[in-house]
Structure formats: structure tokens, C-alpha cells
Structure 1
Amino acid sequence: MSVISSPAYKRALQFITLMGVVSLLADMVYEGGRSLSGQYLALLGASGAVVGLTAGIGELIGYGLRLVFGYLSDRTRRYWLLTILGYSLTVIAVPLLALANAWPLAVGLLMVERLSKALRSPAKDTLISYAADRVGAGKGFGLHEVLDQIGAVLAPLLLAGILAFSGNFQLAFGVLIIPGLLCMMVLLMARMRFPQPADLARQTPAITTTGFSRQFWYYLAGVALFAAASVDFALAAYHLQRLQIVQPAGIPALYALAMTVDAVAAFGFGLLYDRIGLGALVGVTALGALSTPLLFSTGLLTVIIGVVLWGAVLGAQESILRAAVGQLAPPDRRGAAYGLFHAGFGVSWFVGSACLGLLYDRALPALIGVSAALYLGAALVLFYVARRQ
């Protein structure tokens, strides 16, 4: 019997697919909200610095607190509980943006959504990593990201249509409660069908007392530089709104384009990772450096090209970066490893987003130069790790 036709392989693939559907529906909620957040804050009177700081603080919460929740997930082994609680907060907070009538209230709800991401992500990634051990780390996380991004594409398109016909932001946010409820239904179904996802791994994770390798810490350093260099779409959306490069309904459509590229790139980069390892990520940094000046250009065509490149970089981030953590960390410490990974990413994203937001208000060329320099630093560190993988 071939590996791909074995019952264990099929069950692992079924679990990844089911969790991908959960992420698809959840993405319709939070990525839909994210596609509107930059221009929504601008319409509520927020400045460019506020938008940049909101994105940065949100990522600090969403990624930084994963260190705590990752450690907690390994200590308690309550991976399912943390996953379910995290998704529950998401499907409540984002639709409530429909009731926000001032930018501080909207910022608060966006922070709650980021907290929910921190709560569930290490536990969820650990659950998926067990099944990915069976089907291939890159393929497993790549497949999950493909399904995840279908929702990230559908929601912005839906919201773009609502804005085009009604111009009503409250209605656009309000309809997101529907995929939110469906998300919880599918998640509970997955919990009932696969109560112990660790059993899907090639072998039961052993209890270890060893720490993380030096290679793992170097990898986190490269990831930190990569995160600091990355531009948040909210700031790009603010740029498009301020210069009126596209109509308001066109911004979520561009975000949907990025999510489409993300999905295709995630699976492709995931398969490439299974073949050549982290070397697949080094070239991605060049795409990131090219995307920044294009995103902040003044022509529609160059902006579209920038969005495509930005989406490709995001796809690599969501597949290769996550897959590598599971490969570099001991199996029984993956919750903590994913917590460290996401925390480092979040702190770096916070510093990067805050600086890039401030630079946007003062010197756009400096923003582009700083981002490119950070991507170069990430490429050098990740190349060093890849050579020793």
C-alpha cells in the first residue's frame, strides 16, 4: 500500500482539510474586517500614524501574547480548548465593528480580534503540525493556507460588492456574523471527529527535556527581520484612500487579489519547501523588497503589481515559516515553539509597522529604504540557516 493511500495518511489529510475549512470561514470574518480597517479608521478620523500604530500594536498583541498561550498550551495540553475559545472571540469582535462610531472604539475591537488570534494560533498550529508530519510539513501547511485564503478572497469581494451598491460600512461588517457562526459549527465538528490529533503523527510525540537548538534561534532572528520589513495592508490601504488611487470599493478588491495570490503561492512554496528546505524562503525576501515601493507608488498598474508580490510573500510566510517551526522544534514543545515564533514575529512586526507608519507621514523614500534593508538582513540570516538545515 502506498503512503498516500494508507488510512493514516487519509485521516491526516482529512483533518488538515477540515481545519482548513474552519480557517476559511474564520478568514471571511477577520480578513474581511481587515480589508476595510485602514479606510474605515481613516473615515472615522484617524491619522496615518494611528493606522500604522494600530496595525503594529494589533500585531504585537496578536503575535506577542502567543508566547504566553503557546507555553500554556504545552503545559496544559488543552489545545482544543484554546483553539475554540480563540475562534469564539473572533466571530464576536469583528461584526461588532458595525456599531463603532468613533475610531478609538474601532481600534479597541480590532485589538480584541488580535487577542483572539493570539489565544488560538499556537494550539491550532500544533494540532495541524501533527497531521502535517504524516503528509509533509510544507504540503500540510500549504494546503491549510490554500483553504484559509479562499475565505480571505471571498470576504473582501463580498464586502466590495456591498460597499459598491450601498456604501454602508455597518452592513458590510454586520454580515460577517454569518460565516462566523458557520466557523464555530465546523470547528466543533472537527473536535468531535478528531479528539486526539497527535495520534495522526507518524509517531507519538516523545517527552523531551532538551531545549531549542541554536539553529532554531537563528531562524527566529531571520523571521524577526522578515517581519519588521513587512508592510501591513492597512497602511497601504490608507495610502490608496488618501491619494484616491482607487475607489473605496476597489481597496477590498485589491486585498482579495492579494489573498488569491497568497493561496496559490502558499501551496507552491510549501511543496518547494518539502523539496529544498528553507532555501525556498531566501528568494522570497527579494519579492518583499520589490513589493514595498510598488505598493506605495501613485499609479494603479504599479500598485496592482505590488499587491501581487505582497500576496506571494504572505503566502510564503503562512506556509514555509510555520512549517519550518515544526521541523526545527522537539515534537512535544511545538506549542511553546510556535509561541516563540509568533511572539518574535509580532514584536518585530509592531516595531516595523510603527516605524513604517511614522515614516509614511514624514518621508516615504525612507520607508522604502528601511523595508528593503530589513529584507536584505533577513535573507542573509535565513541563507545561513538554510545552509545548515
Structure 2
Amino acid sequence: MFASLRELPRTVWLLGLVSFANDATSELIYPLVPIYLASVLMAGPRALGIIEGICEATSSILKLLSGVLSDRRRSSKPWVVGGYALAAIARPLLALAASWPVVLALRFADRVGKGLRSSPRDALLARSVQPGKRGLVFGFHRAMDNAGAVVGPLIAAGLLAAELPLRTIFLWTALGGALTVVLALAIREPASDDPAPPAADAWKLHQLPAPFKRYLVVLALFTLGNSSNMFLLLRARELGLAEYQVPLLWALVSLSAAIFSTPLSALSDKLGRSRLIVAGWGVYGAFYILLGMNREVLLLWPLFAFYGLFMAATEGAEKALAADLVDRQTLGTAYGWFNLTTGLTLLPASVIFGQLWQAIDPLAAFVFSASCAGSAALLLHFWVDTERGARSTGSA
């Protein structure tokens, strides 16, 4: 596997470094936002659900638009650079927020940046290698992303232990944002070898292959139970985890995912994408049930490490399967629909989770999420025809 990694194109490595720098910055503040809302701005789970749901839903609409336009113009780099630049500007401004609607506005700008860059970046990754190596490429990219997500929370924990105010910590993200943009500017986009841009109506869902459309339905069901990860950190804090340990707990998740993302996603190149995804969704369901029932602070550490396995098994394989089910010239569009489906479903997912938590109890919310994961796993296995993806991978 290490020899295969060394042979990856320069574009893949640069995009990995960009994601590392970006996530180190993003995850520096990610575990602090629930604390900031609860302890500084006095907002509860309902406000958190509204903020995360609206931001992710908006981001997803832009992911479709940017994916379609990058296919038509056969150029991804401008979208990648612009998206990372917008996020780099928005994050430090959280230090100026005096109410949760301001946090909503800044998180909104951050997610707009993600919406602009995600689909073109994923299409660029998929086009950089043959289909039989897509699992490896997306696994490596996710590993770099998660490695950054280890560094960020560790820095946050150190700054919290040094008793720096949350607002000061937010300001420090400006350095990481600048580094991300510089690395993104260094990407050299390879010339497109597609004979012509896709037709004007190729972005419409009914023009895409039937297996891909069924796959989107299954992803929507799973995502309906996959609310913002901030609820997991809120649960940990509710169980008594010390404030400075919250970033460390999330770093453990990212470390677990970073270690296993590349080998597990590469395994999907040989064993099949759907098998790995179904197994990962099973891990997700078990984690949510156990976390909902858990009352012991010490058990949070092995549980969250277990959650990292879900991320490692699914994040790369889900994107590789999406690429396998469509044609090369519509990859950006396909990732646009992929991201739109999962992102739009995050709005009701986060709102429903927050409502169940606040109106009934946390266990009800966690059981709902686990049920969605189990149902989606069954549908993926028995309903989605992934043979097209298997043939595409095998023909590489």
C-alpha cells in the first residue's frame, strides 16, 4: 500500500495537504462551538440544531451548483481556491460574535465556502486516477483530512489548558486559513481529456443512472439519522467530561479515522464498496445506541475511538462508489447531487435530533439515528445495484 501511495499524482498529494491544513484550522474551533454557545451565548441544543442544519443545507445546494459548473467549464481549481478562501475569512470573525444568530451567520459563510469547493475537489480527485484506485485515493484524502482534525483539537486543548479565552482561540485560526489558501493556489489542474463538456441538461437527476439515484435515496435515509457531530460532543459534556478534554475526545475520533481510512478505503477497491459501507453503518448504529445508554465518563474514550472506525470505513468508500456509478464527464455533477442529498437531509436530521433530545431525552434521539442507519444498510445491500460500480472498478 505504501508503494501505491508514493505513486499517487501530485494533485492528490497537494489536495491532501490542503485538507490537512484546512481541517487543522476548522477542527480547532469545531469542538469549541457547542461550549461557546452554551457557556458564553447561553443557547441550548435547539439553537445548535438550527445553526448546523441551516448551514449544512445551504452548503449542499452550492455543492450541486459548483459541481455542475465545474463540469461545464472543465475546471475545478477556481472553485477549490475560492471556497477555502471564504472559510478562512469567516472563522476568525467568530471572536466578534455576541449572539447565536451571529454565530449562525459566520458558520453560514464557512459552509458556503465548503459548498463551493467540495464537489469540484472530489471530481478532481476521482479524475486523477483510474477507477480501480479510487478507494485508495479517497481513503488517503480522508486520512489527511482526519490527521488535520487530530492536530486542531490538540491545539485547542492546549490553548484551553493555558486558559486562553475562546474568542482569542478563534482569532488564531486566521494563520491556518492563510496557509490553506497558499497551498490551494499551488495546485496544478491537469488538462481535461474528456472529448466535450456534458450536455446542458446533464445535471438533471433523471439523466443520471438509475443505480446512482437509488444510492442517493439510501444516503438520504442514513443522513436523516446522522445529525451534526456537535451533538456527540454535547452529550460528552453533559455526562461530565471536563471542558478541556472535549477537544481531546474529538481528536481521538479523528486519530482513529486517520489511521484506518486509507487501508479500509483501499480494501473497498478489492472487496467492494457496498460491503464496507454496510459494515461501517453497522458500527455507527451500535455506537449511537451505546452512547445514548452510557452513563460513565470513562467509557466515552473507547466509544469515540470506535466511532472513528465508522468514519474510516465509510467516508472514502461512499465517495468512491458515487464515482463508480456515473460517467467520467459528469463526476462533478454526481458529487453535487451526492452532497446536496446528504446536506439537505442534515437540516431535518439536526432539527429532529435536537427536538427529540430536548422534548423527550437523549436516548430517544440516539435510538432514532441508529434505526435510520440500520434501515439504510439493508436497503444498500438489497436494493442498490452496485454491479455497475464493480464492473467500472474491475475494468481499470
The answer for the alignment partner of 1:274 in structure 2 is 269
CA positional deviation for 1:365: 2.9
Q: Deviations over 1:273-319 (max 9, x none)?
A: 10121211111111111111333432123322331232222233321
**Distance (whole Å) between structure 1 residues aligned to residue 151 and residue 6 of structure 2:** 28
The answer for the alignment partner of 1:41 in structure 2 is 37
Of 223, 232, 238, the residue aligned with 2:234 is 238
SS in 1 for 2:240: coil
CA positional deviation for 1:206: 6.5
The answer for the alignment partner of 2:393 in structure 1 is none
Of 111, 114, 123, the residue aligned with 1:114 is 111
CA positional deviation for 1:207: 5.6
Q: Say if 1:294 and 1:305, in contact at 8 Å, map to a contact too.
A: no
**Distance (whole Å) between structure 2 residues aligned to residue 107 and residue 319 of structure 1:** 29
Matches of residues 22-41 of structure 1 in structure 2 within 5 Å? Answer: 22-41=18-37
Identity %: 29
**2:378 is aligned with 1:380:** yes
Q: Say if 2:92 and 2:172, in contact at 8 Å, map to a contact too.
A: yes
Of 59, 64, 84, the residue aligned with 2:81 is 84
Matches of residues 125-164 of structure 1 in structure 2 within 5 Å? Answer: 125-133=122-130, 136-164=133-161
The answer for the alignment partner of 1:264 in structure 2 is 259
**Distance (whole Å) between structure 2 residues aligned to residue 222 and residue 310 of structure 1:** 21
CA 1:113–1:387: 2 relative to 1, 3 Å: closer
CA 1:205–1:315: 2 relative to 1, 3 Å: farther
Greater Cα shift, 139-148 or 230-239: 230-239
**2:210 is aligned with 1:214:** yes
The answer for the alignment partner of 1:288 in structure 2 is 284
Q: How many residues are treated as equivalent by the alignment?
A: 375
Q: Say if 2:239 and 2:296, in contact at 8 Å, map to a contact too.
A: no
SS in 2 for 1:166: coil
Q: Say if 2:95 and 2:167, in contact at 8 Å, map to a contact too.
A: yes
RMSD: 2.1
Q: Say if 2:142 and 2:316, in contact at 8 Å, map to a contact too.
A: yes
The answer for the alignment partner of 1:343 in structure 2 is 340
More helix, by proportion: 1
Q: Deviations over 1:52-79 (max 9, x none)?
A: 2212222212223312222222223231
**Distance (whole Å) between structure 2 residues aligned to residue 34 and residue 229 of structure 1:** 20
Q: Deviations over 1:111-152 (max 9, x none)?
A: 111111011101111111111327700001111111111111
**2:345 is aligned with 1:352:** no
**Distance (whole Å) between structure 2 residues aligned to residue 106 and residue 313 of structure 1:** 29
CA positional deviation for 1:198: 4.0
TM-score by length of 1: 0.90
Instruction: Write the letter of the residue equivalent to 1:213.
Output: P
The answer for the alignment partner of 2:365 in structure 1 is 367
Q: Unpaired segments of 5 or more residues in structure 2? A: 389-396
**2:320 is aligned with 1:314:** no
The answer for the alignment partner of 1:18 in structure 2 is 14
**Distance (whole Å) between structure 1 residues aligned to residue 191 and residue 46 of structure 2:** 43
Of 169, 175, 187, the residue aligned with 1:178 is 175
Instruction: Write the letter of the residue equivalent to 1:239.
Output: R
Instruction: Write the letter of the residue equivalent to 2:149.
Output: A
Q: Unpaired segments of 5 or more residues in structure 1? A: none
